[in-house]
Each structure stands twice: as structure tokens, then as C-alpha cells.
Structure 1
Amino acid sequence: MGIKEVLYLARVPSILMLGVVYVFYVLIGGVVFWKLEGDLGKKDISRLLLSKKKLLTMYTCLNQDGMEAVAQVVQDASKVGLSLKGNYTSDGFWKFTSSAVFAATVVTTIGYGNISPSSTAGQIFCVFFALFGIPLNMVVLNRVGKYMLALERNISDFLEGKTGRRKCTRFFVHLVSYLSGAVLFFVVPMIVFQEHEGWTFSQAIYYCFITLSTIGFGDFVADSNPDKVYPEWYSVLMACWIFFGLAWLSLLINHSIDILERLSAHLKQRWTRGKPQEGSGGAKDGDPETQETQLEEEDEMKKTPIT
């Protein structure tokens, strides 16, 4: 059996171990969410049932059918962005600025779910718009991420030439880059959202991460409260924040993936190096085929991951 076949077989235990870790991590997350939110959800249901009972008792002319009709009106109004708290009318969700932000959430796969096309033509257009827009968005974000990475490397190389310390300089540049990105894409938006949306700081930071990671639950959505009047620049600023924040967070995630892959390759290399090889009395460090395989893995690790 050749060395390449042995290395190929050595990947199987690592894949199984990675799969076990992945499933275990998801199950642990499910248990934590169950314990944190399960009791609270039961309390919310009990509170809503009590409020419903009080409402039916207070308004005797309102029966179960009337309650369902009112609930349907409220649900339909929330879908189109209409406020029922006053007698004034609003433009709803489908203004130009809101529609542009919705188009951005489609191509970035955020998909809050608070707004969606209801007409047949709009739904069909959304399919084709996303079909071509999602790859285009990935290419653009990948290019922007590469420019960010190139800017970091240029600054790092410049400082290396001045100080002569490579590791310390690169660590300092990456640290400053991460902290600057955290302030620009998390701290500053958190303050803006707290001011214009009325959220707490924890809700704002939660919304920032859920949006930039493209999870997009839709429980908190900026620029969507029909009871508030937002300035014209608010939607434009939010769209720019989403685009550049996605590129920065994708770059940060790619750095984390690169670190994990390097760690996995290092552990796999140590594991395969400690096992005897068939037919050759054990692979030596000076074996040309082994060196070639290691060089190929290192070159693969050095490539910039695609966002």
C-alpha cells in the first residue's frame, strides 16, 4: 500500500470524529436552548391565555369568532407594515428604500421573513433575482474580503520592515483589525439601533450578529417599525453596514476556519507519522512522496478560503 493510500485512509477516522463532535455540539446547543427558553415559553403561553380571558371578559360583545377576526386583521397588518395604534396611514414595507434593503437581504441570504412578495410575479422574480444575485454577492464579498486581507498584509509588511519582528507585528495588525471591525460593525451600530429602534444594548448586539452571520431570525428587524418615522439616510446606512459587515465577518470566519484546518492537519500529520507504514518499514521524513504530499497540503492551506 502506497503512502497516498495510507494518508487517504487516515482521513476516515478524522471525518468520523469531526462528525461526532458536530452532532454532539448541536445536541448540546439544543439542550441549552431547551433549558433556557422552555420554561419561559410556557410562562408566555400562560400569560397570553390569561390576557385573552381578560379581554373576552372585558368586552362582552367580543366572542371567539370576533377574537379570531381581530387577530387576523392584526396579523395581516403586520405583514404589510401597517400600524393599528393610530388613525394615520403609512406607506407600508414596500417603499423604495425598504424594497432595496429587502433585495439586499435576498442576495445575502439573510431572509428575515418579516417581509416577502405576495404577488405571483413578485415571487417568480424573487426566484430568478436570487438565482443570479446570490452567486454575484458571493463573488463581490469574496473580492472585498481579499482586498481587506491584502490591506492587512501590506500594513503588516510595512511594519515588519520598520520593526523587524514578524510574529509580533502580524499579531498586532490582526488584533487591531479585529478590534476596529468589532467597533465599526458592532459597537457603533449597537448605539445607532438603540437610539432609533429603542432596543436594549443586548438586543442590538444580538441583532447585529444575527444579521451579519446571515442567520436572520426576523424577531428583530431594523427600519421596519410602522410606528416610527425613520430618516432617509437610515436605510442607506443600514445597507452599507450589512454589505461591508458581511465581508468583514466572513473574513473573520475564514480566519477561524483556516486556524481549525491547520490544527486538524497538524494533528492528522502527527497521527499518521506515528503509525508504521506497510511495505516500507515506516514513512520517513525524508521520503520525497511524503514531502510532496505535505507541500500540497500546506499550499492548500495557504489559499484564501471562498466566502
Structure 2
Amino acid sequence: MGIKEMLNLARVPSILMLGGVYMAYVLIGGVVFWKLEGDLRQKDINIFLSNKQNLLRTYTCLNQDGLEAVAQVVQDASKVGISLKNNYTVDGFWKFTSSAVFAATVVTTIGYGNMSPSTSAGQIFCVFFALFGIPLNMVVLSRVGKYMLVIERNISDFLEGKTGRRKCTRFFVHLVSYLSGMALFFIIPMIVFEQQEGWTYAQAIYFCFITLSTIGFGDFVADNNPNKDYPDWYSLLMASWIFFGLAWLALLINHSIDILERLNAHFKQGWCRQKQEGESGNAEGDNPDTQVEEEDEIKKSPITQ
């Protein structure tokens, strides 16, 4: 058995190789987050412990049990969306507009975690609502994404008929589509969130991607601050942005998957071609008839001085 046959037998299946790349990617990401956030998180813990000790020294009548009771009140107020800075309570999270946005986060599987049903009836309804709503949302988003793709292709075909340049036209249409989507679903919402929520631009763009990718950490949530009086159009804008932004990002992710699959097929075809050429070269070199013909041609060829 030759070296090439041994390598072919020892070749790792593609699924295992892909799984190894995936695991390595996740572990590398874990190491990077650990290095970037680990030290800062330890500083936050130290600051919290220092503030806690200062609070207990300042308010001597407040012991550990009292501090835990105050913390529980603050946590309950944050969960239901009540402001502690004012002498009155607001509507809380479960007004109609906020409830509609919550329903959108359920069917889109974003799930910020800032609000959740607490009654048994609400929890049971949430289960069945998500059970039928998530597949419906996937079908609708897929259909909307296909319509976006059809519009993009129609524009591309129209421009191809005018210019006669296919590759340049398609590249230009894709580029304009991506830039328009970035402006419509990232840049403009970033400016709106910076003005309405008081976030930095980095926090706003971070929130946009975490939301549209359905990761939904919940560390930043728009239309969630009980100390702010949001306009009525804000919740409607949020729901519309989430829906169409998800469709656009899904289309973008599908384009990325298609590009990766084409690259994988291209490299696989190149490897198979090299393998076939190597096998054919070895077969010709090992063929005795070919060697005899080559020797006869050498003997018959004239000798030049």
C-alpha cells in the first residue's frame, strides 16, 4: 500500500472536519471573551462589594436582611416596569404597545428576558402562542425575503438589459442592496436609539445586531425604561423594524451561506481534479506499453549535433 492510499484511508470525513472547525471557532471565541471581559467583570464585582459596604456604613439602621429586602423591591419594580424615582407609577410593561412588541419578540425567538408572563394563564397561552407563531413567523419571513430577492433580481435583469454587462451589474446591485439594508436597518435605527434611549452609537449598533440576529441578550432593550415617556409611534416603529430587519438579515445570511457553499464546492472540485490528474499520471507511468513506445520514439529520433 502506497503513501497516497494510506492518506486516503486516514482522511477525516468532512462532517468531522466541519465539526472540529466549529468547536475550535467557539472555543477561540470563548477565550477572547474571557480575556476581554474577565478582568473587567472582576473590577465590577469589587466595585459592587465596596459600594455595598459603604451603603451599610452610611445607613447604620440597614442590616443585611434589610438590604436584601430593598434589593428585592428594586428587582420587582424593574420586572414590572415601575419607576422608583417618582411618586407615581406608570402603566408598566403590559400596556398594549409593549405587549405587542413582546408578542413579536416571542414569535421571532428574540426573547430579551426583560418581561415575561407571570400568571399561569399567561404562561400557558405563551406556550401555544409560540408553538404556532414561530413556524408562521418563519414562513412569512421566508416569503418576504424571497420577494426582496425577486425585486433585487428584477432590477439586476433590467440593468443588464440596458448595459449588457452581467457580472458588473449583479455586483453593483448586490452592493447597493447591502448598503441600503445597512442604512435602513442599522444606521438609521442606531441614530433613533441614540436619541430616544440615550445610548452611545456603539451600544445602539450592538443592540441592532443582537436583536436582528435573534440572539437577544436583554442587556439593552429599547422602549423599556420606566423613567422615560416614549412617543406612541416608537413601539410601532420597533415592531416594524424587527420584522423587516429579520427578513433582510435572513436574506443576507442566506447569501453568505451560498457563498461559503460555492467556495467549498470550488475547493472540492480543485482537489478532485488534482487527485484525478495524479492518478492518471501514475497510471501512465506504470504502464509498460507506454514505456516501450517512449523508448522506440527515442531510438527513432535523429541525433542532432
TM-score by length of 1: 0.86
Partner of 1:216: 216
The code of the aligned residue for 2:51 comes to S
Partner of 2:42: 42
How far did 1:272 drift? 2.9
Aligned equivalents of 1:124 and 1:264: distance in 2? 45
Aligned equivalents of 2:160 and 2:58: distance in 1? 74
Partner of 1:170: 170
How far did 1:88 drift? 1.5
The code of the aligned residue for 1:96 comes to F
Aligned equivalents of 2:206 and 2:141: distance in 1? 22
State how many pairs are aligned: 272
Matched, 1:19 2:19: yes
In structure 1, runs of 5+ residues without a counterpart are 1-8, 283-307
Aligned residue for 1:275, secondary structure, equals helix
Matched, 1:29 2:26: no
Partner of 2:251: 251
Aligned equivalents of 2:34 and 2:12: distance in 1? 33
Partner of 1:296: none
Q: Alpha-carbon deviations, 1:46-88, whole Å to 9, x = none? A: 0000000000000010000000000011111111011111111
Aligned equivalents of 1:16 and 1:72: distance in 2? 48
How far did 1:11 drift? 10
How far did 1:273 drift? 3.3
Partner of 1:61: 61
Whether the aligned pair in 2 keeps the contact of 1:14 and 1:268 (CA below 8 Å) is no
The code of the aligned residue for 1:214 comes to T
TM alignment of 1:273-284, pairs within 5 A: 273-275=273-275
Aligned equivalents of 2:194 and 2:134: distance in 1? 30
How far did 1:236 drift? 0.3
The code of the aligned residue for 1:70 comes to V
Q: Alpha-carbon deviations, 1:147-174, whole Å to 9, x = none? A: 0000000000000000000000000000
Q: Alpha-carbon deviations, 1:160-209, whole Å to 9, x = none? A: 00000000000000000000000000000000000000000000000000
Aligned residue for 1:91, secondary structure, equals coil
Which of structures 1 and 2 has the bigger CA Rg? 2
Aligned equivalents of 2:123 and 2:107: distance in 1? 14
Matched, 1:202 2:202: yes
Q: Which range moved further: 74-83 or 262-271?
A: 262-271
How far did 1:10 drift? 12
Partner of 2:188: 188
The code of the aligned residue for 2:39 comes to D
Aligned equivalents of 2:10 and 2:202: distance in 1? 45
TM alignment of 1:80-159, pairs within 5 A: 80-159=80-159
Partner of 2:291: none
Aligned residue for 1:227, secondary structure, equals coil
Partner of 2:74: 74
Aligned residue for 1:274, secondary structure, equals helix
Aligned-pair Cα RMSD in Å: 1.8
Higher RCO (CA < 8 A, seq sep 6+):
1
Percentage identity across aligned positions?
82
TM alignment of 1:217-236, pairs within 5 A: 217-236=217-236
Aligned equivalents of 2:267 and 2:143: distance in 1? 31
Aligned equivalents of 1:88 and 1:76: distance in 2? 16
Aligned equivalents of 1:218 and 1:14: distance in 2? 36
Aligned equivalents of 2:154 and 2:23: distance in 1? 40
Partner of 1:301: none
How far did 1:276 drift? 5.0
Aligned equivalents of 1:281 and 1:174: distance in 2? 42
The code of the aligned residue for 1:147 comes to Y
Whether the aligned pair in 2 keeps the contact of 1:82 and 1:89 (CA below 8 Å) is yes
Aligned equivalents of 2:272 and 2:82: distance in 1? 63
Partner of 2:300: none
Instruction: Pick closer, same or farther for the CA change 1:238–1:220 going to 2, 3 Å.
Output: same
Q: Alpha-carbon deviations, 1:263-289, whole Å to 9, x = none? A: 112222222333359xx979xxxxxxx
The code of the aligned residue for 1:180 comes to S
Aligned equivalents of 2:258 and 2:212: distance in 1? 20
Instruction: Pick closer, same or farther for the CA change 1:31–1:187 going to 2, 3 Å.
Output: same
Aligned equivalents of 2:57 and 2:241: distance in 1? 48
TM-score by length of 2: 0.86
Aligned equivalents of 1:102 and 1:272: distance in 2? 51
Partner of 2:269: 269
Aligned residue for 2:89, secondary structure, equals coil
